[in-house]
Chain A
Amino acid sequence: MIDLISTIIMGFLLGGLYALIALGLSLVFGVMRLINVAHGDIVVLGSYLGYAAMTILGMDPILSLFFGIPLMFALGLGIQKFFLNRAFKVSMEAPLIIAFGLSIILQNIYQIIWSPMSRGLTTSYALKSFNIGEIYFPLVYILDFSIALVVMIFLREFLRRSYMGRAINAASQDRKAAQLMGINTDRVFAFTFAIAMALAGVAGICFGLTFPFVPTSGMSFLIIAFGVIVLGGLGSILGTFIGGIVFGLTQTLGSYFFGVNAQLLVAYLMVLVVLSIRPQGIFGRQG
């Protein structure tokens, strides 16, 4: 019984991390109507940047975000400007295929620089745990969950209160109407992609603190993020949060009932089933 309760709590906490991984994908899809299949690999980029900061500069992974976030942001502006922005003018499929190409490029750059070996952001606090009664929690799960919560509240306020945030929101609802408001949608796209990259950077650090990663981890991140969006629906941060928690619970409960090896399989199958029942997601709005 205690095992089951702790499984559920762990799944819940893990859900925060999954929502964080999905946030950037959801934002980009909501605004640019692009499923960025390189999103998972961008999350891994965050993990590797943290790893580089830790091993080369001896910096704490979380503190390295002070440099990591602006760096990811700038990279995002560049990728949008030089790749995606041009791809949107080519054809409907071009951005999807170019994102796929970027994904392959990133994976193999990681492979060449960091080898296929599994890495992790091992810090002293990442290994600590604490307990309530007989239930033990790794401290890092709480840390991930709190960071996810802070990031989501921050993003929500940004989208509501700043002019750029409102412009992003408007462009996601009606692109032409947004242009009629005097919004430069090219700029909105660039900012959206850059913000999504920065979010992925934070997600990558959190993931790296919690689990080991390899150059090809991006694939599972992409499917997780996509699953979270499918469950939570698009265009709502709250929906993404709920989707993350459902996904986290599915995974830990899948592991509890069917064994550790089956945990991802159960979660993926659930995504396929949900997609076939409601292609626009459980909480998503029509169209």
Chain B
Amino acid sequence: MSEELLKLEKLAVFHGSFQALWDVSLVVRSREIVALIGANTSGKSTLLDTISGFLHPSKGTIEFQGKDISGMDPFKIVDIGITQVPEGRRIFPDLNVLENLILGSYNRRARGEREKNLERVYTLFPLLKSRKNQQARTLSGGEQQMMVIGRGLMSSPKLMLLDEMSLGLAPVVLGELYKALREIRERGITILFVEQNVRQSLQEAERAYVMESGRVVLGGDVAELREEEKIRKAYFGV
């Protein structure tokens, strides 16, 4: 068994007075692809934002490479090697593709590796190279998604958090993106992705966690999960 990269233990997170996460524990090991599945508002995005430092847990710990990071600011989290590719993509619409990518290398650790990372992103998504001087707002949805994944890679991450990348994308495009994710993993980057599409998630990931109204209700290897009564009933209807 490989090393535990990210370990959440009994997290409780509040939005104001509303408790969004209850007693959440999960583990992501080095070089894994892990899926986080569940319906809308089950707390998946809240969980990613908590790992990214936008929300701080009132109880529990977040360990990254053995260190507690639960009180860190978002920009520090990027510094230590966790990048988030957010829901809705959140491109910088007025900048061109290259400028968007360069912003990804803002943290001090990544600045020195900028050219090397840029080459890698271009090998992964050759399309971005040909569009590098184009304004980001003029890209198609799939191209924008490639750009923000590339932007995340520019920060030299160890762990990449991906939030709902399938929203509004055609299946063909999505297939390409998942292929890219596998290549990213081959380069030694661990991936935790959030997805509503359960069938696809269980295909792409090695392990998965299922969330329901702010709690992790199931977790394990995807092969085991597919056999799980609850999942079959809820998502596959058999």
A residues sitting closer than 8 Å to B (CB atoms) are 163, 166-167, 169-170, 173-174, 176-185, 235
Contact = CB atoms under 8 A, between A and B. Distances in A.
A286 to B, nearest CB: 12
Contact of A174 (B54, B73, B90): B90
A181 B90 contact: no
Chain B contact patch, size range: 20 to 34
Contacts of A174: 90-92
Contacts, number: 60
B47 interface: no
23 contacts: A163-B106, A167-B106, A169-B92, A169-B94, A170-B92, A170-B95, A173-B94, A176-B54, A176-B86, A176-B90, A177-B86, A178-B103, A179-B74, A180-B52, A180-B83, A180-B84, A180-B90, A181-B103, A181-B106, A182-B75, A182-B155, A184-B75, A235-B94
Contact of B93 (A173, A181, A182): A173
B80 to A, nearest CB: 10
Interface of B: 52, 54, 73-75, 78-79, 83-84, 86, 90-95, 99, 102-104, 106-107, 110-111, 151, 155
A26 B63 CA distance: 42
Nearest to A177: B90
A interface majority secondary structure? helix
B107 A182 contact: yes
B152 to A, nearest CB: 8
Nearest to A186: B73
B172 to A, nearest CB: 27
Contacts of B73: 184
Contacts of B103: 166-167, 170, 178, 181, 183
Contacts of A182: 75, 78-79, 106-107, 110, 155
A237 to B, nearest CB: 13
B129 to A, nearest CB: 20
A181 B82 CA distance: 10
Given A166-B102, A166-B103, A166-B106, A180 B74 contact: yes
Given A169-B95, A173-B94, A174-B92, A181 B104 contact: yes
B106 A183 contact: yes
Contacts of A176: 54, 86, 90
B75 A183 contact: yes
Contacts of A166: 99, 102-103, 106
B198 to A, nearest CB: 26
A75 B11 CA distance: 41
A26 B225 CA distance: 54
Given A163-B106, A166-B99, A166-B106, A180 B78 contact: yes
10 closest cross-chain pairs (CB), A and B = A182-B78, A182-B107, A177-B90, A179-B74, A184-B75, A173-B92, A181-B106, A181-B103, A182-B75, A182-B106
Nearest to B80: A182
Nearest to B85: A180
Contacts of B75: 179, 182-185
B78 A181 contact: yes
Contacts of A184: 73, 75
Most A-side CB within 10 Å, residue of B74, B93, B94, B103: B103
Most B-side CB within 10 Å, residue of A174, A179, A180, A184: A180
